[in-house]
Structure 1
Amino acid sequence: MSTKPNTKTPVRRNTPNCIYRLRVELQHIAPTIRRRILVPDTLTLGKLDRVIQAAMGWNNTHLHDFTIEGKRYGTPDPQWPEADMLNERRYTVGDVLGPTVQQFRYSYDFGDGWDHTVVVEQRLVTVEGKNTWPMCIDGENACPPEDVGGPPGYMDFLEALRNPTHAQHEDMWTWWGGPFDPLGFSLNEANKAIRKLR
C-alpha cells in the first residue's frame, strides 16, 4: 500500500541561514558540461529550476523535475495524481537539502532526456551583500541547443556541423543559424540571465 507524500507547506523565511554551492553537471555528454552556482537556502525549488535553466543556457520550454532523497518535486499535474509529484513551489532548497544531502538529480525535457547530477559541494555562511542571492560562479562548455534530440542527437548535430561533407551539414547549419561553439561558455551571460529572474 503506497503512502501519500507529506504535502504540508514548510514555514518560509526571508533571510537565508545558509548558502549552498552546487555543481550542476549534464550527464551522458563528453566533454563535461557543467555550472557551479550559489543559491540561498530560502530559494524555492521552483526558483532553483529557473536558476539552473539560466546558468546552463536552457530556455525553460519543457517539463522538469527534481529527485531528492527518493522524492520527486516539480509541477504536479491534476490529471496524474498517482505520480506523487510534490509541488516544487512549496519547498525551499534548505527544506530538501538540509545539512546532510550530498547529491540529487535534476531532469529537463523528458523527451530529450537531459539529466543533470547536482552535487552539494559546500554549505557556506551567509555574507550580506555578497552571496545571499543566486549566482553562477564557474562553468565549462556550451549548453546543447533545445530540441536537438538529447545526448545522441547533440553528438550527431556536432558531427554534422564539423564536417562540411556530412549529409546533414546544411540542414543543421540552417536549423541552428550558423556555427556553434561547443566549448563556448560566458560567465557574464549566465549571470545576466540569472539577474533577469530577480
Structure 2
Amino acid sequence: MSRQIFQLKMSLAGTRPPVWRRVLVPAGYTLDRLHRVVQHAMGWRDCHLHSFEIDALQYGEPDPDGELALHDELDVRLDAVLGKGSRFSYTYDFGDWWEHDLVVEDALTADPDERYPVCVAGERACPPEGIGGPPGYQALLEALVDQTAPVDLVGPRQAMLRDWAGSTFDPGSFDPDRATTLLHRFC
C-alpha cells in the first residue's frame, strides 16, 4: 500500500518580506510530529509553548494545570483532520506570538526512494527567538538595512537589535537542504 504525503506551505504571518517553507510530510503524522517539522523547517529552537488551530479546535500539549483548553496533539493524525486545500494555523511562543498560516497544497503518493519529511523550498531566515514577535522582527530588519552606519547614527535600540541578532544573522538566507537534514535528524 502506498503512503500519502501532504505538501504543506507554511508562512510566518506578519512578516514582510515573507518568511515561508514548503515541506512534504507523511499524512499519517500526528500533530506533535508536525510541530517538530514546523520547528526544524522554520528554524525555531522549540523553547516555547505552541498550539495548532484546525476548524476552530485548539491542539497542543495538554496543560497539567488545565489553564489551556487544548486537545492532545498526540492523538490526532493529519489525515484525520486535514485534506488537500485545508487551511489551519500554528502559533509558537505565546509571548512573541509567532503565527504560522499553513495550507495543504497537495496530497501526493510517496516516492518509495524518498525519505520524509523533506523541505523542498522556502525563503528568508527565521527570525531570532525572543526578538519581540513581528514588530520586533520588523525593527530588526530596519536596523540591519545599513550595518555600516555607526551606532551614534542608528540609535541605541537599533544597535541593541543588531547585537541581539548577532553578526552572522542574514535575514535573506535560507537553505532547504539544511532544513531537510534537520528534519531527517529530529523528525
Q: Is TM (by shorter chain) over 0.5?
A: yes
Deviation at 1:101, TM superposition (A): 5.6
TM-score of the pair, normalised by structure 2: 0.89
Deviation track 1:5-48 (CA, whole Å, cap 9, x = no partner) reads xxxxxxxxxx7631100000001111111000001012111010
Distance 1:103 1:16 in 2: 25
Q: Which residue of 1 aligns with 2:26?
A: 40
Which blocks of at least 5 consecutive residues in structure 1 are unaligned?
Answer: 1-14
Match status 1:158 vs 2:141: yes
User: Given the alignment, which residue of 109, 115, 133 partners 2:93?
Assistant: 109
Q: Would you say the 8 A contact 1:51–1:134 is kept in 2? A: yes
Alignment of 1:1-198 (within 5 A): 17-80=3-66, 83-97=68-82, 99=83, 102-130=86-114, 133-163=116-146, 164=149, 165-167=153-155, 168-198=157-187
Q: Is the 8 A contact 1:23 1:36 kept in 2?
A: yes
Consecutive unaligned residues of structure 2, counting only runs of 5 or more, are none
Distance in structure 2 (CA, Å) of the matches to 1:76 and 1:44: 15
Q: How big is the alpha-carbon RMSD for the aligned residues of Structure 1 and Structure 2?
A: 1.8
Q: Deviation above 4 Å: which 4+ runs of structure 1? A: none
2:57, 2:112 → 1: CA distance? 32
TM-score (norm 1): 0.85
CA distance in 2, matches of 1:130, 1:100: 21
Structure 2 CA distance, aligned partners of 1:27 and 1:134?
A: 23
Aligned length: 181
